[in-house]
Structure 1
Amino acid sequence: MERVIEEIKYEKRVVAFIDILGFKDIIKTSESNPAKLNLIYESLLFLKNREKPEEWNLQLIEIEEYAQKRGLAKFNIADKTSCTCFSDSIVISVQIEEENINEIISTLITNLSFIGAKLMTDGILFRGAITIGNIIHKDNGLVIGQALIDAYQLELSVAKNPRIILSKNLLEKLNYPIETNKDRFPYHQYLSRFDDGCVGFHQMIYFQVLQSWTEMEISELKSELKKVKQAIIDGLDSSFEFSDIHSKFKWLKAEYEKLIILENGVKEKIHELNDGIAGQNIHYSYTDNFYYPKKSKKV
């Protein structure tokens, strides 16, 4: 029988490259810390599960007013998405058509925001970039193309802090400037222009955008934000010899303080060292315990 050769050609897609920060140190620590090993294993298992196309669903988009007005079918990417996880990285690509790129980006960013929030409540930071370009992305995990290289380079050299940034060529295709409400898409609630000029979102923005979701109860929101706060404090306290890592957690601390949470008392403040405390303590956790004393367990 004559062998049928598949035609291989590039396809224009939106491509995201995401990387777990501090992976080497996590692995090193996990050799003597069973809890850390279980944490990184469960986190990687969570990411690996995203290789199933149906995981990129509309659950978090269908509650958006801007999506409902345009028709939810336009936002569906489950049958257009390929995802490959390897070691500490994840590559996601989505088929696009020029006329629906705003819808595609909305669903992709909403899902990535959820992934980032889930990882951060466990103390796992990520960094990444999203671009648009030519790529071959197969279900067997084979990924090649300039768009992948571009996303990787942006993540490595430009993103710097724990966030996902968007490339200039992708931003030029999105709905900016926003002049009226009819110009808005769900992704507009997630994206910000940071002080260094980059446009993107960090792992905590999920809580600001979805705080009014009926399934996000106030008690749950408070609990999740408390985990995020603790992850930042732990990072600040453990980075004595690593100024680069410390600067990333200082950046996260500043972004955490900027989060707009409507319900009073849900987001606890991360105080500066020795804020209102006499002495020269060097741990953020000491200051935090001063303002938010932990309840002692009854014997």
Structure 2
Amino acid sequence: MAKKVNYEDRLTLFVDFLGFKEKIEETESNSEVLQDLVYVMSEVSVIAKEGDPKEFEVSQFSDCLVISYGIKNFNLIFEIVNKLSHVVVRAAELGYLIRGGLTFGRLLHTKQLVLGPAMSRAYHLESQVAKMPRVILDPVEFNEALLNPAHDAVKAVKKFLKWDKSCEVWYFDYFSSEVISDVVGGDPMKYPRYLKILSGMIEEGLKSSHPGVLEKYIWMQKRYQLARKKFTGAPEDHPTRVRFPGYLESIEQLPMLKKEAAGAAEIVAKAEKERAKKCRGG
């Protein structure tokens, strides 16, 4: 007789690596791309599996990753967001963007399988709600607690998040120096190098001719520009220039990408106008 299984209440994170399909197609003719993919997925898998294995489960299949925690105490929400931050930042450092959703609900997650309402909800958040290269928190499960935090763990989690008032969701902030410094620590020059990687990804993405792709990189450029702007225009005797030579200069030398984003926005606007015209039957 099969062993009886039951759902558990679990924090459930589902993430998808963007552009993976195109990379897979490249692997057939370029073995270096295959080696790169294997390395990236291995790196992310190692990060996902760090910690006490009794607390969580991890499943990885193709370009998707599922991490879930049995909610024994509220501090675990900080644990899963902290783990998420390392996954997102490491993937970006390796040239990959992630989209995903974090929810709380009924889930069956073992070494062999993962299924349940929470899995369906997390997938829905990733595929239908997040839209941009970001990981969002389920507004149904988390908005009230985050807008009015009463627990220390929730207050700690908010430091990693940004509020998108246009669609009323919280998402993980992988642009600001405060968050990235907390995640990577150590060498202060890591942030300028990280921001340079993001700028390169955005610059390349804004060359696309596909409106749907351009929208994602326009969104990224706006947040990248805000992160960069905080470090530009400081006087020569600014304490940061003195304490960390080259730090501010490295960021100031990065491109703003405003012109590229404006050109991309024109392509998107034109596509939307043509789509609206077709809908009207004109």
TM-score interval, smaller chain? 0.7 to 0.9
Give the equivalent residue in structure 2 for 1:139.
111
In 2: Cα distance, 1:21 partner to 1:108 partner: 21
TM-score of the two chains, using structure 1 as the length reference: 0.72
* Displacement after TM superposition at 1:231 (Å): 1.5
* Displacement after TM superposition at 1:84 (Å): 0.1
Q: Quick one: structure 1 residues 29 and 208, their matched pair in 2 at CA, closer, same or farther if it must change by over 3 Å?
A: farther
Q: Secondary structure at the match of 1:200?
A: strand
Q: 1:252 aligned to 2:252?
A: no
In 2: Cα distance, 1:274 partner to 1:209 partner: 26
Q: Secondary structure at the match of 1:16?
A: strand
Runs of 5+ unmatched residues, structure 1: 58-76, 276-280, 283-299
- Alpha-carbon contact 2:145-2:154 (below 8 Å) kept: no
In 2: Cα distance, 1:274 partner to 1:153 partner: 31
- Alpha-carbon contact 2:149-2:155 (below 8 Å) kept: no
Stretch of structure 1 that moved more, 142-151 or 165-174? 165-174
Give the equivalent residue in structure 1 for 2:87.
115
Q: 1:216 aligned to 2:186?
A: yes
Structure 1 or 2: larger helix share? 2
- Alpha-carbon contact 1:19-1:89 (below 8 Å) kept: yes
- Alpha-carbon contact 2:13-2:67 (below 8 Å) kept: yes
Q: How does 1:1-299 map to 2 (within 5 A)?
A: 5-50=2-47, 52=49, 55=50, 57=51, 78-97=53-72, 100-101=73-74, 103-140=75-112, 142-172=113-143, 174-178=145-149, 185-194=155-164, 195-205=166-176, 207-211=177-181, 215-237=185-207, 239-240=208-209, 242-259=210-227, 264-267=248-251, 268-273=254-259
Amino acid of the residue matched to residue 186 of structure 2? Answer: M
Alignment size in residue pairs = 244
- Alpha-carbon contact 1:51-1:84 (below 8 Å) kept: no
TM-score of the two chains, using structure 2 as the length reference: 0.76
- Alpha-carbon contact 1:132-1:169 (below 8 Å) kept: no
Q: Secondary structure at the match of 2:145?
A: coil
Q: Quick one: structure 1 residues 173 and 83, their matched pair in 2 at CA, closer, same or farther if it must change by over 3 Å?
A: farther
Amino acid of the residue matched to residue 27 of structure 1? Answer: I
Deviation per residue, 1:70-98 (Å, 9 max, x gap): xxxxxxx653110000000001110103x
Q: Quick one: structure 1 residues 126 and 138, their matched pair in 2 at CA, closer, same or farther if it must change by over 3 Å?
A: same
Amino acid of the residue matched to residue 54 of structure 2? Answer: D
In 2: Cα distance, 1:10 partner to 1:222 partner: 44
In 2: Cα distance, 1:213 partner to 1:42 partner: 21
Identity %: 25
Q: Secondary structure at the match of 1:185?
A: helix
Amino acid of the residue matched to residue 174 of structure 1? Answer: A
Amino acid of the residue matched to residue 118 of structure 1? Answer: R
* Displacement after TM superposition at 1:173 (Å): 6.5
- Alpha-carbon contact 1:210-1:216 (below 8 Å) kept: no
* Displacement after TM superposition at 1:214 (Å): 9.0
Q: Quick one: structure 1 residues 211 and 235, their matched pair in 2 at CA, closer, same or farther if it must change by over 3 Å?
A: same
Q: Quick one: structure 1 residues 96 and 225, their matched pair in 2 at CA, closer, same or farther if it must change by over 3 Å?
A: same
* Displacement after TM superposition at 1:258 (Å): 2.3
In 1: Cα distance, 2:95 partner to 2:256 partner: 16
Amino acid of the residue matched to residue 246 of structure 1? Answer: L
In 2: Cα distance, 1:212 partner to 1:105 partner: 17
- Alpha-carbon contact 1:116-1:204 (below 8 Å) kept: no
Q: Quick one: structure 1 residues 248 and 256, their matched pair in 2 at CA, closer, same or farther if it must change by over 3 Å?
A: same
Q: Secondary structure at the match of 2:106?
A: strand
Q: Secondary structure at the match of 2:258?
A: coil
